């Protein structure tokens, strides 16, 4: 489905006016679009830089890409899918699910694909957001950024990497046309993406060398195909699937106790991970290389049954000497060893604490979000920022979760933004802006709850923490507490103006 903006990108000169512009069409942008339609709001546009919906699930097509949260939980609560083929779905099924939801809830006609948002400024006179995109300009009363935290790949700054003569692929920008059969592949990184891609490519590659900076803790993956009986039952008795979802939610929330309250409660999980490693890796030296020296949960807990078998296969090797440089046909480690290499796979993560979209959104006083966040990302409820009227962030600062489904957090935030839109309607408000005091109080709450979490005390460095060592990415508590905080609009924390 196309829109005027999309179909006439060159000819269009006038600015399209909408009530709400949403940036991004992943889980968050779609959830927001669906919710607005439910509220009777049709005057909105979703600006999506890619060619399709799906966000990270459209972009991450590397072999083995899958979700490490069960699909019965990692899906919209209002759109259960009785037909998930596996308990933990793979990327193509999740993308198909999102495409199906977008079609079913009829939000595609609100989309402009190929619309990369290059800038957005608050126009104080018009009291609107002026949004520039690669397909034209939009003027919106309200701007919702659902651009995602795992949207922009982070490329490592390794000497010589730009002169590498072979193929270089980031895990989030996979080139499916490139055949790895028989190649000498170097994988940089051992995070959630690497532990999925390595087992998928190791059987076909000539060799795989994994350059590890920090070993991850890995626990078994309880994945299995769903049975026809299960699927039939879910179709006939939707309440059953809902109950399963509830059980999954509750069991995962137990992890929040250890992660955010007292890391001692993580001891059994760490024991499980250690046993998993010991069972799958016999060689004591390799085992030592693969054993983390920090508390489990400090970095994301990874789940895999085939990571250890893959990295200990005869054609694989884990190297933790550190990369000194990349040469046109090889990788050289700090111990002086040079390994001939055909393809470099960069499983090196994303820009999370330095969100690129933050450089593009300019508030009331002419400063961008990045400018006002130089000493760390701060918001009210992960959703609004003082000095940025009528701007809402989805999957913004301190909304991330490592132990459960991001979709739960997204739905909490979407409800919050919906309440804000409703309040604007009810009170006839033209602008709504959170106060600095509310933002400071929320920041203090995040700092207080982050103290004692395994992310700060677990003995590791991670992208969860910003350059000042503060947690600006994850929600440091039970997720139901975030839902409670965002269930209604904290109206006292906002200043509204009428026409």
Stretch that binds ligand N01, among 185-193, 330-338, 388-396, 448-456 (CB under 6 A): 185-193
What is the spatial distance between Cα 89 and Cα 110, in angstroms, rounded to a whole number? 28
Which of 3, 341, 348, 412 is in the footprint of ligand N01 by CB under 6 A? 348
Cβ–Cβ < 8 Å for 147, 355: yes
**Judged by CB, which is closer to ligand N01: 213, or 364?**
213
Rounded-to-integer distance, Cα 84 and Cα 347, Å: 27
CB of 97 to ligand N01, least distance (A): 14
Closest separation in Å from C-beta 85 to ligand N01: 16
In terms of CB distance, is 150 or 410 closer to ligand N01? 150
Closer CB to ligand N01, 205 or 460, in the complex: 460
Q: What is the dihedral of CA 177, 182, 183, 187, to 10 degrees?
A: 90
CA distances from 319 to 45, 77, 179, 189, 388 (A): 48, 42, 24, 11, 46
Contact 154, 349 (CB under 8 A): yes
Identity of the residue, 189 or 363, whose beta carbon is nearer to ligand N01 in the bound complex = 189
The residues, ordered by sequence, that sit 6+ positions from 452 with a Cβ below 8 Å of its Cβ are: 260, 261, 262
Rule CB under 6 A: say whether 64 interacts with ligand N01: no
Question: Could you say which residues in the range 391-410 bind ligand N01, by CB under 6 A?
Answer: none
| Residue number with CB closer to ligand N01 (5 or 187) | 187
Among 190, 202, 209, 413, binds ligand N01 (CB under 6 A): 190
Determine contact, residues 149/355, Cβ cutoff 8 Å. Answer: yes
Contacting residue, 194, 210, 318, 377, with ligand N01 by CB under 6 A: 194
In the bound state with ligand N01, the residue whose beta carbon lies nearer, of 54 and 189, is 189
Contacts with 492 (C-beta within 8 Å, 6 or more apart), sequence order:
none
Q: How many residues bind ligand N01 (CB under 6 A)?
A: 24
Nearer to ligand N01, 334 or 484 (CB): 334
The neighbouring-strand residues paired with 485 are none
The 266-305 site mask, x for binding ligand N01 (CB under 6 A), equals: ----------------------------------x-----
Q: Pick from 191, 199, 263, 363: which binds ligand N01 (CB under 6 A)? A: 191
Q: Does 189 bind ligand N01 (CB under 6 A)?
A: yes
Stretch that binds ligand N01, among 94-102, 184-192, 244-252, 467-475 (CB under 6 A): 184-192
Paired tokens of 394: 């989805």
Q: Which stretch binds ligand N01 (CB under 6 A): 9-17, 189-197, 198-206, 483-491?
A: 189-197
Q: Is 352 exposed, middle or buried (0-12, 13-18, 19+ CB in 10 A)?
A: buried
Which residue, 419, 425, 428, is CA-closest to 493?
Answer: 419
Among 24, 349, 397, 458, binds ligand N01 (CB under 6 A): 349
Exactly one of 23, 208, 266, 347 binds ligand N01 (CB under 6 A); which one? 347
Choose between 140 and 150: whose C-beta lies nearer to ligand N01: 150
Query: Quick one: which of 9, 63, 119, 156 contacts ligand N01 (CB under 6 A)?
Result: 156
**Part of the chain binding ligand N01 (CB under 6 A), chosen from 17-25, 29-37, 208-216, 228-236:** 208-216
Find where tokens 């990874």 sit: 302
**Rg (alpha carbons) of the chain, rounded to whole number:** 23
Which runs of consecutive H residues, i.e. helices, occur in 237-283?
238-256, 267-280
* Closest to 108 measured CA to CA, from 170, 45, 165: 45
Within residues 136-155, the interface with ligand N01 by CB under 6 A covers 150
Show contacts with ligand N01 in window 34-63 (CB under 6 A). none
Dihedral angle of Cα 198, 203, 206, 211, to the nearest 10 degrees: 20
Stretch that binds ligand N01, among 119-127, 210-218, 370-378, 421-429 (CB under 6 A): 210-218
Which residue from 36, 28, 25, 32 is spatially nearest to 1, judged by alpha carbons?
25
Q: How far is the CB of 467 from ligand N01 (least distance, A)?
A: 14
- Strand, coil or helix: 363: coil
DSSP 106: T
By C-beta, is 89 or 368 nearer to ligand N01? 89
Q: Compute the Cα dihedral for 384, 390, 391, 393 and give only its sign.
A: positive
CB of 404 to ligand N01, least distance (A): 11
* Minimum distance of ligand N01 from residue 463's CB (angstroms): 5
Verify binding: residue 311, ligand N01, rule CB under 6 A: no
- Which is closer to ligand N01, CB of 325 or CB of 371? 325
Q: Tell whether residue 192 is a contact of ligand N01 (CB under 6 A).
A: yes
d(CA 473, CA 466): 8
CB proximity list for 335: less than 8 A, separation 6 or greater:
321
In the complex, least distance from residue 38 CB atom to ligand N01, rounded to whole angstroms: 27
Q: Which residues bind ligand N01 (CB under 6 A)?
A: 66-68, 150, 156, 158, 171, 188-194, 196, 211, 213-214, 300, 347-350, 463
């Amino acid at each position: 489905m196309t829109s005027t903006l999309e179909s006439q990108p060159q000819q269009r000169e006038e600015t399209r006016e909408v009530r709400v512009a949403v940036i991004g069409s992943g889980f968050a942008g779609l959830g927001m679009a669906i919710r607005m339609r439910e509220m009777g709001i049709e005057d909105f546009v979703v600006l999506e830089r890619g060619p399709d919906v799906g966000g990270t699930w459209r972009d991450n097509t590397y072999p083995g890409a899958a979700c490490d949260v069960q699909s019965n939980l990692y899906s919209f609560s209002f759109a259960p899918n009785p037909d998930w083929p596996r308990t933990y779905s793979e990327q193509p099924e999740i993308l198909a699910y999102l495409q199906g939801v977008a079609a079913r809830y009829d939000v595609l006609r609100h989309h402009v694909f190929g619309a990369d948002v290059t800038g957005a400024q608050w126009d104080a006179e018009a009291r609107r957001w002026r949004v520039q995109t690669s397909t034209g300009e939009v003027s919106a009363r309200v701007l919702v950024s659902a651009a995602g935290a795992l949207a922009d790949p982070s490329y490592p700054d390794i000497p010589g990497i730009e002169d590498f003569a072979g193929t270089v692929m980031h895990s989030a920008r996979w080139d499916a046309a490139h055949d790895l059969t028989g190649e000498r592949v170097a994988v940089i990184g051992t995070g959630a993406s690497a532990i999925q891609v390595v087992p998928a490519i190791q059987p076909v590659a000539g060799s795989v060398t994994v350059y590890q900076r920090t070993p991850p803790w890995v626990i078994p993956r309880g994945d299995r195909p769903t049975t026809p009986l299960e699927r039939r039952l879910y179709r006939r008795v939707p309440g059953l699937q809902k109950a399963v979802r509830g059980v999954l939610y509750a069991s995962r929330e137990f992890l929040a106790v250890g992660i955010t309250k007292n890391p001692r409660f993580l001891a059994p999980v760490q024991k499980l991970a250690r046993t998993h490693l010991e069972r799958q890796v016999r060689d004591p030296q390799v085992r030592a290389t693969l054993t983390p020296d920090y508390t489990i949960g400090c970095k994301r807990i990874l789940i895999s049954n085939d990571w250890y078998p893959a990295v200990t296969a005869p054609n694989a090797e884990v190297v933790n000497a550190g990369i000194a440089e990349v040469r046109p046909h090889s990788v050289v480690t700090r111990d002086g060893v040079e390994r001939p290499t055909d393809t470099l796979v960069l499983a090196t993560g994303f820009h999370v604490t330095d969100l690129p979209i933050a450089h593009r959104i300019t508030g009331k006083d002419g400063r961008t979000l990045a400018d006002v966040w130089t000493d760390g990302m701060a918001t009210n409820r992960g959703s609004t920022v003082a000095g940025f009227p009528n701007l809402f962030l989805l999957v913004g600062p301190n909304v991330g979760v490592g132990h459960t489904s991001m979709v739960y957090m997204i739905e909490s935030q979407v409800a919050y933004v919906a309440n804000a839109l409703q309040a604007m309607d009810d009170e006839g408000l033209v602008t709504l802006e959170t106060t600095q005091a509310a933002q400071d109080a929320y920041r203090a709450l995040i700092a207080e709850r982050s103290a004692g979490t395994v992310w700060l005390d677990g003995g590791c460095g991670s992208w969860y923490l910003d350059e000042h060592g503060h947690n600006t990415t994850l929600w440091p508590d039970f997720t139901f507490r975030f839902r409670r905080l965002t269930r209604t609009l904290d109206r006292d924390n906002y200043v509204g103006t009428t026409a």
